Chains A and B, each alone.
Chain A
Amino acid sequence: MSTPVIQVRDLKTYFQTPKGVARAVDGISFEIPKGATFALVGESGCGKSVTALSLIQLVPEPAGYIAGGEILLNGREIVVLTEREKRGIRGNNISMIFQEPMTSLNPVFTIGDQIIETIKLHQKKTSAEAKALAMDIFGKVGLPDPEGLINEYPHRLSGGMRQRVMIAIALSCKPDLLIADEPTTALDVTIQDQIISLIREVKEATGTAVLLITHNLALVYRNAEAVGVMYAGKIVELTTTRDLFRNPMHPYTVKLLRSIPGGEKRGKALDTIPGTVPPATSYPAGCHFSGRCPREMEGCASIYPELAERAAGHKVACHLHDAEFMAGPSSKPLRHEPDSLAPLAAPYAQRKVLLDVKGLKTHYPIRKGLLKRVAGFVKAVDGIDLTVREGSTLALVGESGCGKTTAGKSIIQLLRPTEGEILFKGSDLARMDERQMKPFRSLIQIIFQDPYSSLNPRLMIKETIEEGIRSLKPGLGRAERERKITEVLERVGLTPEMMYRYPHEFSGGQRQRIGIARALAVDPEFIVCDEAVSALDVSVQAQILNLLKSIQRDFGLSFLFITHDLSVVEYIADEVAVMYDGKIVERNSTVEIFSNPSHDYTKKLLSAIPKIDPELAGLWRLPGR
Chain B
Amino acid sequence: MPVILATDLIVYFLVAMTIYFVIRARSDGTVKAAWNELRRNRLAMVSMFFLALYLGVAVMDCVRWRDPVLDADREVSRSETSGAVIYSPQALSLLDRAASKIRLNTEKTYSSPFSDHLFTKESIEMPDGRAVRDYPGLKYPGSHWLGTDKVGNDVFFIALKGVRTGIVIGAGTTIIIVPFAIFFGVIAGYYGGFTDDIVQYIYTTLSSIPGVLLIVAFMLLFGSSGYQGGLLSHRETFLGFFVPNERLFWLCLILGITSWTDLCRLIRGETLKLRELEYVQASKAFGVTSPGIIYRHIVPNVMHLVLITFVLQFSGLVLAEAVLSYIGIGVGPEMGSWGNMINTARLELSREPVVWWNLFGSFLFMFALVLPANIFGDAVRDALDPRLRYR
On whether A414 and B281 interact (CB within 8 A), knowing A437-B287, A457-B385, A502-B386, the answer reads yes
**Nearest CB of B to A560, in Å:** 13
Interface check B286, CB cutoff 8 A: yes
Interface check B296, CB cutoff 8 A: yes
The residues of B that contact A437 with a CB separation of less than 8 Å are: 287
Q: Is the CB of A471 within 8 A of B288?
A: yes
Interface check B297, CB cutoff 8 A: yes
A-B contact pairs, 14 of them (CB 8 A): A414-B281, A414-B285, A434-B287, A446-B281, A448-B282, A453-B277, A457-B301, A458-B385, A467-B296, A468-B283, A471-B287, A502-B386, A504-B387, A522-B286
On whether A446 and B387 interact (CB within 8 A), knowing A453-B277, A456-B279, A458-B300, the answer reads no
Bound CA–CA A437/B289 (angstroms)? 12
Number of B interface residues, CB 8 Å?
Answer: 22
Interface check B284, CB cutoff 8 A: yes
Q: Is the CB of B296 within 8 A of A444?
A: no
On whether A438 and B301 interact (CB within 8 A), knowing A448-B278, A502-B387, A518-B282, the answer reads no
Q: Is the CB of B279 within 8 A of A453?
A: yes
Interface check A445, CB cutoff 8 A: yes
Q: Is the CB of B284 within 8 A of A414?
A: yes
Which has the most chain A C-beta neighbours within 10 Å: B278, B284, B285, B288? B285
Q: Is the CB of A464 within 8 A of B279?
A: yes
Interface check B391, CB cutoff 8 A: yes
Q: Is the CB of A438 within 8 A of B287?
A: yes
Interface check A455, CB cutoff 8 A: yes
On whether A441 and B287 interact (CB within 8 A), knowing A456-B297, A467-B296, the answer reads yes
The residues of B that contact A442 with a CB separation of less than 8 Å are: 286-287
Q: Is the CB of B279 within 8 A of A455?
A: yes
Interface check A412, CB cutoff 8 A: yes
Of residues 497 through 516 on chain A, the ones whose CB sits less than 8 Å from some CB of chain B are 502-505, 515
Q: Is the CB of B282 within 8 A of A454?
A: yes
Selected from B284, B287, B389, the residue in CB contact (under 8 A) with A472 is B287
Partner-B contacts on A (CB < 8 A): 409, 412, 414, 434, 437-438, 441-442, 444-446, 448-450, 453-459, 464, 467-468, 471-472, 502-505, 515, 518-519, 522
Bound CA–CA A468/B285 (angstroms)? 9
The residues of B that contact A455 with a CB separation of less than 8 Å are: 279
Q: Is the CB of B278 within 8 A of A467?
A: no
The residues of B that contact A454 with a CB separation of less than 8 Å are: 277-279, 282
Q: Is the CB of A467 within 8 A of B283?
A: yes
Interface contacts beyond A448-B282, A457-B387, A471-B287: sample of 12 additional A-B pairs, CB < 8 Å, sorted by A: A412-B285, A441-B285, A444-B285, A446-B285, A454-B278, A454-B279, A457-B301, A457-B385, A468-B283, A468-B286, A471-B292, A518-B282
On whether A505 and B391 interact (CB within 8 A), knowing A446-B282, A467-B288, A522-B286, the answer reads yes
The residues of B that contact A505 with a CB separation of less than 8 Å are: 391
Bound CA–CA A464/B297 (angstroms)? 10
On whether A467 and B300 interact (CB within 8 A), knowing A450-B278, A453-B279, the answer reads no
The residues of B that contact A453 with a CB separation of less than 8 Å are: 277-279
The residues of A that contact B391 with a CB separation of less than 8 Å are: 505
Q: Is the CB of A456 within 8 A of B287?
A: no
**Nearest CB of A to B328, in Å:** 42
The residues of A that contact B389 with a CB separation of less than 8 Å are: 502
Q: Is the CB of B386 within 8 A of A467?
A: no
Bound CA–CA A442/B242 (angstroms)? 56
Selected from A409, A449, A504, the residue in CB contact (under 8 A) with B386 is A504
The residues of A that contact B279 with a CB separation of less than 8 Å are: 453-456, 464
The residues of B that contact A434 with a CB separation of less than 8 Å are: 287
**Nearest CB of B to A518, in Å:** 7
The residues of B that contact A456 with a CB separation of less than 8 Å are: 279, 296-297, 300-301
Bound CA–CA A467/B284 (angstroms)? 11
Bound CA–CA A445/B283 (angstroms)? 10
Bound CA–CA A458/B387 (angstroms)? 8
Bound CA–CA A458/B31 (angstroms)? 12
Bound CA–CA A260/B286 (angstroms)? 33
Residue on A nearest B277 in the bound complex, by CB: A453
**Nearest CB of B to A30, in Å:** 36
Residue on A nearest B29 in the bound complex, by CB: A460
Question: Which 9 interchain pairs have the tightest Cβ spacing?
Answer: A468-B286, A454-B278, A502-B386, A441-B287, A448-B278, A504-B387, A456-B279, A458-B300, A471-B286
The residues of A that contact B384 with a CB separation of less than 8 Å are: 458
Bound CA–CA A448/B279 (angstroms)? 9
**Nearest CB of A to B379, in Å:** 17
On whether A472 and B278 interact (CB within 8 A), knowing A457-B385, A467-B296, the answer reads no
On whether A472 and B282 interact (CB within 8 A), knowing A457-B386, A459-B296, the answer reads no
The residues of A that contact B288 with a CB separation of less than 8 Å are: 467-468, 471
Bound CA–CA A441/B289 (angstroms)? 12
The residues of A that contact B278 with a CB separation of less than 8 Å are: 448-450, 453-454
Residue on A nearest B292 in the bound complex, by CB: A471
The residues of B that contact A414 with a CB separation of less than 8 Å are: 281, 284-285
The residues of B that contact A504 with a CB separation of less than 8 Å are: 386-387
The residues of B that contact A459 with a CB separation of less than 8 Å are: 296
Bound CA–CA A456/B301 (angstroms)? 9
**Nearest CB of A to B304, in Å:** 10
Selected from A441, A448, A503, A515, the residue in CB contact (under 8 A) with B286 is A441
The residues of A that contact B301 with a CB separation of less than 8 Å are: 456-458
Residue on B nearest A19 in the bound complex, by CB: B390
Bound CA–CA A444/B391 (angstroms)? 36
Which has the most chain B C-beta neighbours within 10 Å: A442, A445, A453? A453
Bound CA–CA A454/B279 (angstroms)? 4
Bound CA–CA A434/B287 (angstroms)? 8
Bound CA–CA A467/B277 (angstroms)? 16
Bound CA–CA A104/B28 (angstroms)? 46
Bound CA–CA A455/B283 (angstroms)? 10
Of residues 6 through 20 on chain B, the ones whose CB sits less than 8 Å from some CB of chain A are none
The residues of B that contact A450 with a CB separation of less than 8 Å are: 278
Bound CA–CA A471/B296 (angstroms)? 13
Residue on A nearest B286 in the bound complex, by CB: A468
Residue on A nearest B280 in the bound complex, by CB: A456
Bound CA–CA A449/B288 (angstroms)? 21
Residue on A nearest B279 in the bound complex, by CB: A456
Proximity bits, B283-322, A CB within 8 Å = 1, else 0: 1111110001000110011000000000000000000000
Bound CA–CA A434/B281 (angstroms)? 14
Bound CA–CA A472/B278 (angstroms)? 19
Bound CA–CA A464/B296 (angstroms)? 10
Bound CA–CA A306/B387 (angstroms)? 38
**Nearest CB of B to A467, in Å:** 6
Residue on B nearest A435 in the bound complex, by CB: B287
Q: Is the CB of A458 within 8 A of B386?
A: yes
Bound CA–CA A414/B281 (angstroms)? 7
**Nearest CB of A to B170, in Å:** 26
**Nearest CB of A to B373, in Å:** 23
The residues of B that contact A502 with a CB separation of less than 8 Å are: 386-387, 389
Bound CA–CA A438/B279 (angstroms)? 18
Selected from A448, A468, A471, A522, the residue in CB contact (under 8 A) with B281 is A448
**Nearest CB of B to A532, in Å:** 11
The residues of B that contact A412 with a CB separation of less than 8 Å are: 285
Bound CA–CA A412/B283 (angstroms)? 12
Bound CA–CA A16/B330 (angstroms)? 52
